[in-house]
């Protein structure tokens, strides 16, 4: 029985070559970023930007992209990283914590790991963080772009605990084929589009807080829900919302890109030694199949893993339940960390798997240095068994079919 790391939405991210355009006003944009020139010293990640690119700018909010200005609170680790990546650079990384950070202040992103909790417990964790936040920050509540977990309830908990006056609710992530039309979240695919989650205005209003579509009667205090089918429309929404001082922003990587005032700078991670895939999401399986000659070892607990780079560790396909598969993966990774020399660079697919790996390595936190591309963050472990290891990470459903081909290419050339 094949299993998925989480109950992920299996709609394929939009492939621009095959997307069907809806007949109404929906517009779909390509990600607009030009990778800068990269240079490497050993396995250190560096970025040399094109002239005028990658500089600290002011976005539509009037805020700079400086890491000290932002606090990100997410429901899973990959989401915390791919959101933090828009605000981070190798020179000014953001700290990403798996638990409550030492200080609830700027320059931090927090994974509260609430997606699989019951709603009351999830909202309790969110409220605790926002009740103790430092005032005057750009406060960002990261939610899932396909509305998994408790996006509405957690947004309300953050709003109330943080005593915000206004909130912009903008979950669209056009670069990943997630758009918002008439207050509904949609996932685009080659077969069309499918709604996910509830009617946003009604769902927010049901919690007793005023909510309306942005520009259509939004109250002075409460939630403004933004329609957006492109990055340009997201930017227009942020401008229309305006800078009101101590506001809450609720969304995903699309909103983070706009608030940071710049596109992803396109970091290039060091050559991969190893990839760890803890999900059987169809998008990830296609990415694995596209890499010619890639050796795959199954994390099935049937023996010691002796990976010779480059290699992919994959989830067991014969597990009868998610619980059994996770137990196999956990034992396999414990043996791997105990016996393998510290790798220079690792790709991890799936939030549960990455969180598990950080715990097994006993790292204190991650330092996010930026993005390889939208949805793919580049960070480093801090302390523990893999101190200094470069980590590229993504959710199971993110990335084009050639993503792993591109990430593995440098290492395969070196080993040829």
Domains of the chain and CATH, by start: 56-260 (3.40.50.10840), 274-415 (3.40.980.20)
Please choose, from the candidates 291, 388, 301, 265, the residue with its C-alpha nearest in 3D space to the C-alpha of residue 349. 291
- State the pLDDT confidence band at 68, using cuts at 50, 70 and 90: low
- State the pLDDT confidence band at 37, using cuts at 50, 70 and 90: very low
Please choose, from the candidates 189, 114, 107, the residue with its C-alpha nearest in 3D space to the C-alpha of residue 154. 114
pLDDT at 76 (0 to 100) = 94
Mean pLDDT of 16-43: 37
pLDDT at 241 (0 to 100) = 93
- Within 290-350, residue ranges assigned H as helices are 322-339
- State the pLDDT confidence band at 407, using cuts at 50, 70 and 90: confident
In angstroms, the CA 179 to CA 238 distance is 15
Least confident among 93-102, 212-221, 247-256, 390-399:
212-221
- Kindly report the length of the chain: 416
Mean pLDDT of 11-16: 36
Q: In the structure encoding, which two tokens stand for residue 372, read together?
A: 């390889």
Using alpha carbons only, give the angle 340, 343, 346 rounded to the nearest 5 degrees: 115
413 vs 249, more confident: 249
Percent of the chain with pLDDT over 70: 79
pLDDT at 32 (0 to 100) = 38
Mean pLDDT of 258-269: 77
336: DSSP letter? H
Instruction: Write down the pTM of the prediction.
Output: 0.82
pLDDT at 414 (0 to 100) = 55
pLDDT at 296 (0 to 100) = 87
Mean pLDDT of 201-216: 95
Instruction: Classify 116 as helix, strand or coil.
Output: coil
pLDDT at 238 over 60: yes
pLDDT at 269 over 80: no
Q: In the structure encoding, which two tokens stand for residue 377, read together?
A: 């963050």
In angstroms, the CA 26 to CA 390 distance is 38
CA distance to 44, 104, 158, 161, 276, per residue, from 132 (Å) = 35, 7, 11, 9, 35
Mean pLDDT of 319-334: 91
Mean pLDDT of 95-102: 92
pLDDT at 9 over 80: no
Task: Identify the helix (H) or strand (E) that includes residue 192.
Answer: strand 192-196
- State the pLDDT confidence band at 411, using cuts at 50, 70 and 90: low
CA distance to 124, 244, 384, per residue, from 101 (Å) = 16, 27, 17
- State the pLDDT confidence band at 303, using cuts at 50, 70 and 90: low
- The 3-class secondary structure across the chain, one letter per residue, is CCCCCCCCCCCCCCCCCCCCCCCCCCCCCCCCCCCCEEEEECCEEEEECCCCCCCCCECCCCCECCHHHEEEEECCHHHHHHHHCCCCCCCCCEEEECCCCCCCCCCEEEECCCCCCCHHHHHHHHHHHHHCCCCCCEEEEECCCCCCCCHHHHHHHHHHHHCCCEEEEECCEHHHCEEEECCEEEEEECCEEEEECCCHHHHHHCCCCCEEECCCCCCCCEEEECCECCHHHHHHHHHHHCCCCCCEEEECHHHHHHHHCCCCCCCCCCCCCEEEECCCCHHHHHHHHCCCCCEEEECCCCCCCCCCCCEEEECCCCCCCHHHHHHHHHHHHHHHHHHCCCCCEEEEECHHHHHHHHHHHCCCEEEEEEEEECCEEEEEEECCCCCCCEEEEECCCCCCCCHHHHHHHHHHHHHC
Mean pLDDT of 94-116: 93
Contact at 8 Å (CB) between 391 and 355? no
Mean pLDDT of 138-147: 96
- State the pLDDT confidence band at 276, using cuts at 50, 70 and 90: very high
pLDDT at 35 over 50: no
pLDDT at 28 (0 to 100) = 39
pLDDT at 139 (0 to 100) = 95
Those residues with Cβ within 8 angstroms of residue 380's Cβ, 6 or more apart along the chain or in another chain: 93, 366, 367, 369, 388, 389, 390, 391
pLDDT at 156 (0 to 100) = 98
Whole-angstrom Cα Rg for the chain: 20
Q: In the structure encoding, which two tokens stand for residue 269, read together?
A: 């991670």
pLDDT at 67 (0 to 100) = 52
Percent of the chain with pLDDT over 90: 55
221: DSSP letter? S
pLDDT at 320 (0 to 100) = 83
pLDDT at 302 (0 to 100) = 72
pLDDT at 182 (0 to 100) = 96
Maximum alpha-carbon separation in the chain: 62
Phi, psi torsion values for 34, nearest 5 degrees: -115, 115
**What average pLDDT does the chain have?**
82
In angstroms, the CA 176 to CA 14 distance is 6
pLDDT at 304 (0 to 100) = 60
Q: In the structure encoding, which two tokens stand for residue 329, read together?
A: 């993966």
Over the stretch 330-366, which tens digit does the pLDDT of each residue have? 999 999 999 989 999 999 999 999 999 999 999 999 9
pLDDT at 58 over 80: no
Ranked by mean pLDDT, the top range of 105-109, 272-276, 355-359, 374-378 is 355-359
């Amino acid at each position: 029985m094949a299993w998925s790391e989480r109950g992920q939405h299996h709609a394929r991210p939009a492939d621009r070559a095959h997307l069907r355009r809806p007949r109404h006003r929906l517009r779909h944009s390509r990600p607009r970023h030009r990778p800068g020139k990269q240079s490497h010293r050993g396995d250190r990640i560096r970025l040399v930007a094109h002239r005028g690119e990658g500089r600290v700018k002011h976005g539509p909010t009037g805020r700079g992209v400086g890491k000290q200005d932002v606090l990100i609170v997410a429901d899973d680790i990959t989401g915390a990283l791919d959101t933090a990546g828009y605000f981070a650079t190798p020179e000014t990384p953001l700290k990403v914590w798996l638990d409550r950070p030492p200080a609830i202040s700027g320059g931090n992103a927090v994974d509260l790991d609430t997606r699989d909790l019951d709603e009351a417990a999830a909202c309790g964790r969110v409220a605790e963080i926002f009740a103790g936040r430092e005032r005057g920050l750009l406060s960002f509540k990261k939610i899932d772009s396909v509305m998994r977990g408790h996006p509405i309830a957690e947004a309300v908990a953050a709003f109330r605990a943080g005593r915000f006056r206004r909130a912009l609710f903008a979950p669209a992530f056009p670069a990943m084929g997630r758009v918002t039309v008439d207050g509904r979240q949609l996932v685009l695919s080659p077969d069309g589009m499918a709604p996910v989650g509830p009617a946003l205005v009604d769902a927010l209003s049901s919690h007793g807080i005023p909510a309306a579509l942005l520009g259509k009667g939004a109250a002075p205090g409460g939630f403004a829900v933004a329609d957006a089918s492109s990055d340009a429309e997201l930017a227009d929404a942020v401008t229309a919302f305006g800078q009101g001082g101590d506001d809450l922003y609720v969304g995903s990587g699309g909103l983070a890109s706009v608030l940071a005032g710049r596109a992803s700078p396109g970091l290039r991670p060091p050559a991969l030694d190893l990839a760890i895939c803890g999900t059987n999401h169809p998008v990830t399986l296609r990415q694995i199949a596209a890499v010619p000659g890639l050796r795959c070892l199954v994390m099935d607990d049937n023996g010691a893993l002796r990976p010779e780079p480059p290699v992919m560790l994959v989830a067991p396909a014969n597990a009868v339940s998610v619980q059994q598969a996770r137990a196999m993966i956990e034992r396999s990774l414990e043996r791997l960390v105990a016996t393998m020399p510290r790798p220079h660079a690792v790709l991890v697919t799936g939030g549960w798997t990455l969180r598990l790996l950080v715990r097994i390595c006993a790292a204190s936190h991650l330092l996010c240095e930026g993005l390889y591309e939208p949805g793919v963050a580049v960070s480093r472990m801090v302390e523990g068994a893999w101190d200094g290891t470069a980590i590229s990470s993504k959710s199971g459903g993110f990335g084009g079919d050639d993503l792993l081909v591109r990430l593995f290419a440098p290492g395969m050339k070196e080993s040829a």
